[in-house]
Amino acid sequence: MEDKFAELEDRLAEITDLSQVSALLGWDQQTYMPPAGVEGRGNHMATIDRILHLKRTSDELGQLLADLAPLVNEWPPDSVKTRLVKVTKREFEKRTKVPVEWVEEFARLTTLAEQAWEKARAEDKFANFQPYLERIVDMKRSYAGFFAPYEHVYDPLLDDFEPGTKTMEVKAIFEALRPQQVALIREILACPPIDDSFLHQHFDEQKQWDFGVQVITKFGFPWDRGRQDKSPHPFTSSFGVNDVRITTRLYPDHMESALFGTMHEAGHGLYDLGIHPAFARSLLGDASSLAIHESQSRMWENLVGRSRPFWKHFYPKLQETFPAQLGNVSLESFYKAVNKVQPSLIRVEADEATYNLHIMLRLGLEISLLEGSLLVSDLPEAWNSGMEEYLGIRPHNDTLGVLQDIHWSVGLMGYFSTYALGNLISLQLWERIRQDIPDLDEQIEAGEFRPLLEWLHENIHQHGSMFEPQELIARVTGSRINPDPYVRYLTEKYREIYGI
């Protein structure tokens, strides 16, 4: 039986290698590939992904899992071996339940849908994207059907990104959160707006880059095991525990983009870099879930990077970097500016206080679409009404509304909620960290991030996907995902900033 387990490890090592190779093809496409390379790259990816799919769903792997099943009960439930078999079985079953014909048809559909979405967005014509989205919703419903019976038709979709998490639980979390977050935003909007005009001067791009590098170097980003490049959309990609790459984008007149984007991606990167080296070629070497991943990026971006102690340390350095632009701006003015709350139409530009509402809108719409209680043809109106209800603003066209995000066009449904869940988790962890590191603020103010990073490595990162997300959070904080710490944080922080 040791042989069987060793064979499982060998097969998973090969699968992990191929999946990291696939990630490198994607990274290169987003960073350095010359534009005309796109067709060839499509072939490279299709070939690797086809081989990967065959290996992930092979009869031999299924037989190995069957052979190992009786043993799993004899091993300790938290042991690496038990967990590895469990995670492998879960993935194997998910992949083998979906007919290859569905996978191929969905790939063809979303290739066309993405093109249609790009065009529809550019021309502000939702009607041209509508038939594709209708087909995607239909196919997503069929997809859920492969996993029947389920509690809710949305569960199988959510489960792809948040293993073990149920739709009803997420809905309940968001229903508890929403009224409190809406009420807070109303309070804030009744106050005089914060002046952040000085953030929109000209900031030299190389100096922005260098400052971001300085910050994440202090965070502990290990440059011998990672790197940063430029790309149109920032992302993080891991090719194993010793090769993790982040990207950023620079706008000369919008310095927050690179500044907080770099910290955000570094948060993702530090997670991937903290996974136990023993999982380097194992399915346990992935993150627990997207929400856990997002909790790390949002923690470094917001709880660290938008905090007063952080700027007490870094603002003098930023002023030295940009004396003409910031020499006469006080720390307090700067701190408020980078925390300015202003409801806006575009999710990716949303501030900390309004961001979750964008997510809740999308989650509600996705669920309704899957349930069939909302028709795709009624989606733009539902979007616009939702924006008005949640944020008090209404898009005057669909490009700024329902067409803004790429996700649906590429077939991603069940994904959005992980962004907001990540915010909530980040605060649950943060409250726990404050107990374990009582002088956290003083450390941050001193530019000392090692104890924080070590805490995250120890409690979150190293485990990879040993534990499902809810289980991991419960192990660390004593409770499942819970919005209360986040509400407490937002309320306290923003009342102080706005003098409410």
Q: How many CB atoms within 10 Å of residue 266?
A: 31
Q: How many CB atoms within 10 Å of residue 366?
A: 25
Residue 274 lies near a second copy (rule: CB under 8 A)? no
CA distance 397 to 393: 12
Least Å from the CB of residue 14 to a second copy:
5
Nearest Cα to 256, choosing from 183, 214, 201? 201
Piece of the chain touching a second copy by CB under 8 A; list 20-28, 132-140, 336-344, 404-412: 20-28
Secondary structure (DSSP) of 10-38: HHHHHHHHHHHHHHHHHHHHHHT--GGGH
Q: How many CB atoms within 10 Å of residue 284?
A: 24
Nearest Cα to 94, choosing from 61, 135, 116? 61
**Residue 254 φ/ψ, nearest 5 degrees:** -150, 75
Cis peptide before 149 (omega within 30 of 0): yes
Residue of 1, 66, 195, 223 that binds a second copy (CB under 8 A): 223
Pick out residues in 230-259 that bind a second copy (CB under 8 A).
239-243, 245
Residue of 4, 9, 11, 25 that binds a second copy (CB under 8 A): 25
CA distance 213 to 481: 32
Nearby residues of 149 by Cβ (< 8 Å), 6 or more positions away: none
Fill in the per-residue mask, 387 to 426: x = in contact with a second copy (CB under 8 A), - = not in contact.
----------------------------------------
**Residue 452 φ/ψ, nearest 5 degrees:** -65, -50
Residue 35 lies near a second copy (rule: CB under 8 A)? yes
Look up 388 and say whether it is catalytic: no
Please report, as a single letter, which amino acid is at residue 262.
Answer: T
Residue 10 lies near a second copy (rule: CB under 8 A)? no
Residue tagged active-site, from 265, 294, 366, 468: 265
How many residues line the site for a second copy (CB under 8 A)?
39
Minimum CB distance to a second copy smaller for 32 or for 146: 32
Residue 33 lies near a second copy (rule: CB under 8 A)? yes
Residue of 2, 3, 43, 76 that binds a second copy (CB under 8 A): 43
Residue 14 lies near a second copy (rule: CB under 8 A)? yes
CA distance 479 to 486: 14
Residue of 4, 5, 9, 21 that binds a second copy (CB under 8 A): 21
Minimum CB distance to a second copy smaller for 40 or for 438: 40
- Token pair 């937002």 is found at 490
Piece of the chain touching a second copy by CB under 8 A; list 12-20, 109-117, 367-375, 468-476: 12-20
Residue of 2, 192, 224, 435 that binds a second copy (CB under 8 A): 224
Q: Using CB under 8 A as the criterion, which residues of the chain lie in contact with a second copy when the complex forms?
A: 13-14, 17-18, 20-21, 24-25, 28, 32-37, 39-41, 43-44, 46-48, 51, 222-227, 229, 239-243, 245, 280-281
- Positions annotated as catalytic residues are 265
